[in-house]
Structures are given as C-alpha cells and as structure tokens.
Chains A and B, each alone.
Chain A
Amino acid sequence: MLGLILRRMATGWITVVIVAVVVFIGVEVMPGDACTAMLGRDAARGDVLENCRDRMGLNRPPVERFVAWAGDLAQFDLGVSMKRERPIADIVGPRLRNTLILAAAAALAGVPLAIGLGVMVALRRERPFDIIVSTTALVAMTMPEFVAAALLILIFAIWLGWSAGVVTAAYDAPALALLFATPLPAVTLALVYMAHILRMVRSSVIDTAGADYILMARMKGVPERQIVLRHLLPNAILPTIPVIGLTLAWLLSGVVIVESAFNYPGLGRLAVNAVADRDLPLVQATALIFGLIYVSMTLIADLIAMALNPRLRTRRL
C-alpha cells in the first residue's frame, strides 16, 4: 500500500520534471531570447545585447542554464521578472493565493451540488426535470468560459443589478473581501465543470442502476430508499471521483479566461499580462506553477480514489 503511494508520487514528480523541461525548451527553441524581447528588435544588437546577455547569464550553454534554473526552482527561487524587476515569488505569491481562493470557492460550492443534481436527475430519468437539467448542462458544456462570463455579467450585474460586474479589489486584498466582491467569477468557473460532473454522475448512476445486484436487492424486497443509499450510490459515485479530480484540474485553463474576464487579480490574469508584456521568466514561472497544481490535483484525486476503493490498491499504477 505504502509502496503504491510512493510509486504514484514518484510518477507525479517525474511529470513535474518533464513539465519543467518542456517549459524551458518552449522558451529556448524560439527565435530571440529574454534580452531581445526586453530590449525590442531595434535596440537589441551589438554591445547592448551582449551586456544584457552577460548580465542575465544567457551566454552560457542551454544545459548549464537549465540546471541553474532548475536548481533555483528547487530552492523556491523563481527568478526575477523582467518587466516588473521584482522577484517573481513576490509577484506570484499573493496571486496564487487569490486563484486558490477562487478555485476553492467554485469547487466547494459546485462539486456537491453537481453530484447531488446528477443523482437526482438520474433517479428521475427521462422525466421533465431530467430533460431540463441535462439539456442545460449540455449547453453549459458547449459554452466557452468568456461567453458565460459576459452573459452572467449582462444578466446579474447589469440587468438585475444584484452584484458588481468586475472585481475592483487589489491583489493583496483580504481573502473575504475578494470572495464577496462578486460571486460571478466563482459561479462562471463552477458552471462549466459542474456540467461535466453532473453528466458523468448521471450516466454512472444510470449504468449502475442496471446492475444485477440492484435487481437482486429489489427482488429480496429491500426498501427502495435503502437500495439507493446502500447499494446504488456508493458503487455509482466511487468511479467518478478520479474523473472529478481531473475535471477540477482542467478547471485551471478556465481560470485563465475567467480571471481575465472579471479582472480578478489571480495567477491566470498574471499569466496573460506576462504574455502581453513578453516577460518570459514570468511566463515560465506561471506555466510551471499551473503544471505543478495540475499534477498535485491528479495525485490527490488518485490517492482519494485509492483510499475509498480497495480494488485500486492492488492495481499496478
């Protein structure tokens, strides 16, 4: 059991290393470097360019630079932002916190609701309630986050006037202030992945309801309530848990869009701004952190699934 967990964690770390290599190569193979990006095409020549490269250590061979970069990363040193000329850790820290607040709010409110609704519609299969909810979920799945964001702003902020449309709080505002500034970013984020979870739970419950042991329980005369709670739900929800973890991990790319649409001061908007500024060290750092969050989320999801489902503990990962 312990060996299995350790092996799974080792796989996670290997993934992180591959992500770091890809992020490094991604910037490496491109024409120009941090200096040409910072100085601009016209100024980047001759002594100025050489001085800049010397200063930033860009004249060393790529492998040496990768080792240095990775070594710094291992000590939580993310480097220095070119544009803002501040340590990246200082810039990223508070915004990472804000993104985690946003994602946690969306997940804590959305996941139980999505599972509950999924079970409810599955038990009322093909009835009007199911058709309405399932169709809404289908539409939500096909709607890109920025469209959902604009639509929610239009309806709830402008037409109904229930909340502010965009976040005006600063990036270092207290957590509660950010959360209560407007619920719309969290709602938008929740909407898209809730639809995925709801449909998955629905089909899992429907599949399980057709199993022989459910029929058996019904023939034995087990009360319907007990069939659902004891026999049906544990078996139906369990397999969806790792996928829910994956869905939450995919929510990360949604974060980039939702934060930009609502002006939310998080990591996603920082990444977009870094790209607009062509601030390569900052782009690398944010991409790496997103990769790291993704790997940890999938790891946690797998571990939870192993804790809940004994059958997974013997499988080679």
Chain B
Amino acid sequence: MIGAPILRVVLSKPSGAIGVTLVVGHVMLAVLSPLVLPHDPIAQSADLILQMPSLSYPFGTDRLGRDILSRVMLGGRSAMLIATLATLVAMVWGTVVGLLLALIGGRIDTHMMRIVDALSSIPGILIVMIFVAALGVGAAALIPILGYSYGLSVVYIARAAALDFVARDFVLAAQARGEARSTILIREILPNVRDTLAVQGAMQWSWLMLGITSLSFLGLGVAPPTPDWGLMIADARGVMPTAPWAVLWPMAMLSTLIVGVNLAADAFAKALGVDQQLRTVAA
C-alpha cells in the first residue's frame, strides 16, 4: 500500500527515521519478547522485593518481587492488541459513515452530523466507564466500546476528506454511468482518501494506546496479574520514594512508543502530502 519511494522519503529525515525505528523496535519487542524473557514475569518472590537494578535483574524488581525487565518487555502486548483491534473497528465504521454522509449530503448529512456532534460531546472515557460499570473489565467489552467512541472522530475526518472529492467530475461521471452508491464509494472516493485515513489510523492507534493504558491505570482496563505498563505505574506509585525505577521503566516504554508513532505518522503524512488536509480538518 505504501511503496518504497515513500518509505525512503520518510527515512531520509531524522524525525521520520527515529519514529519508524522506535515503532519497529517496539513491535519486534512485543512479538519476540516471550522467546527471550530473562525471568517469569508473574512469579512473585518474598526474597526479592524492591531490589535495586542489578546484573541478574537489570531493571530491578517490583513490590511483589517480580522482575521488572520481563514485565516491561511484555507490558505493551495486551494494550497493543486491544488498540489494534479497536482501531480497526473505529476506522471501519467511522470511514463508512463519514464517506456515506459526504456522498449523500443534504438534510440527512446535516442531521446525522448534529447527532455525531452530540455523541462526541460525551467524553469517551465516561462512555467506557458506563459500560465497564455494567459489563465488568475485559478486552471483549473494551474493543467495541473503544472502537465506537474513537470512531466518532474518524467520521469527521473521513467526511471532510471525502467532501473534497464528491463534487468532482469523476464522481459525477460515475453517477451518470449509473454506478451504485457503494461502487462509487469503494472505486472512486476511497482510493482518494486512503492516504489521509491511513495516517489518521496511525494517530488513532496511538490515542487508543494512551486511552487503554489510562484505563488500566484506573483499574478499568487490563486486569492483573497480566503485565501492563498502565497497571505497573499504578502499582508502583506507592513505592516511588524507595523504588523510583519501578515506575520509570514502564513510563519510558510507553513514552517512546507514543512519541515514535507520532513522529512516524507525521513523517508519513508529509511524505504522502496529506498533512495539510489533516490539519485543516482538525482545526
């Protein structure tokens, strides 16, 4: 989908190269880490509580005597998996609704956007909290709820991106040929907004990572004892005076991932020439 020339442009700038390196490094770590774990990430040990970083425990141990290096290596996996699936849900429904509204236009479009405005006015975290209150904690419940709530902003982006094209001659020609609405969407409009949506998808993914780790921090996301950065930070807050490393490592991991995704997405947006489009939509 994104060819070698684009990748070369992205990598030629330091920010793009750093971003792509961070993302690739994180993904490889998440995929490969189960093969190279130094210790059992959930094995507790009363003798090893809050050990300073040492040769056998390079990142130290937490308040239950668990190896922080092993936990940090695995700590992004659940959140990344949930974020990826929720991004897919958000992008698919947001794109379909956004493009359809742009194509239909008129009163239906106006009224539907009012409803989308109203739905967007409930902070996403509250919607998630309402559902978690009733359904309990778990990925199965989180993915559709997060997908719905983050998809609302995709509707705006997809609709605005498509509005640039619905009045063009090639869409009119397709309509004159008698093409079905779904065909026009898939064959005529989607290819033109594909790059914008791809970059938006990457940004959505990073926001979802932030959202999920925040939920885990609140105790509403990933459930213990699964290693998770948000949970690790929540868990280590109480021991910060004596063991700051327990909270700093998961922070560093989360931050490098988010900064990496943002730098890479920015670089791709510039290389694909859609950065201006995304900015006008966001404003």
Contacts and interface: CB of A to CB of B under 8 A. Distances in A.
Interface of A: 11, 14-15, 18-19, 22-23, 26-27, 30-32, 37, 138-139, 142-147, 150-151, 153-154, 158, 165, 200, 243, 250, 252-253, 256-257, 260-261, 271-272, 274-276, 278-280, 283-284, 286-287, 290-291, 294-295, 298
B210 to A, nearest CB: 5
Q: Which of A11, A142, A272 has the most CB of B within 10 A?
A: A142
B121 A147 contact: no
A22 B127 CA distance: 9
Given A146-B233, A151-B251, A291 B217 contact: no
A150 B240 contact: yes
Contacts of A11: 114
A23 B127 CA distance: 8
Q: Which of A19, A253, A275 has the most CB of B within 10 A?
A: A275
B38 interface: no
A280 B134 contact: yes
Interface stretch (B61-69, B191-199, B252-260): B252-260
Interface string B214-248: 10011110000000001001100100110010011
Contacts of B123: 250, 252-253, 256, 290-291, 294
Across the A-B interface, the 5 shortest Cβ-Cβ residue pairs:
A18-B118, A30-B134, A253-B123, A275-B133, A15-B118
Contacts of B133: 37, 274-275, 278-280, 283
A146 B235 CA distance: 12
A158 B126 contact: no
Nearest to A269: B218
B122 interface: yes
Interface residues of B, number: 43
Contact of B122 (A32, A146, A278, A294): A294
B233 A147 contact: yes
B283 interface: yes
Nearest to B132: A275
A124 B129 CA distance: 44
20 contacts: A22-B119, A23-B122, A26-B130, A31-B135, A142-B206, A142-B259, A143-B255, A147-B255, A150-B233, A150-B247, A154-B244, A165-B240, A256-B125, A257-B214, A275-B129, A279-B133, A280-B133, A287-B122, A290-B122, A290-B126
A139 B259 CA distance: 7
A257 B218 contact: yes
Interface in B109-143: 114-115, 117-119, 121-127, 129-135
B196 to A, nearest CB: 19
Nearest to A286: B126
A255 B160 CA distance: 30
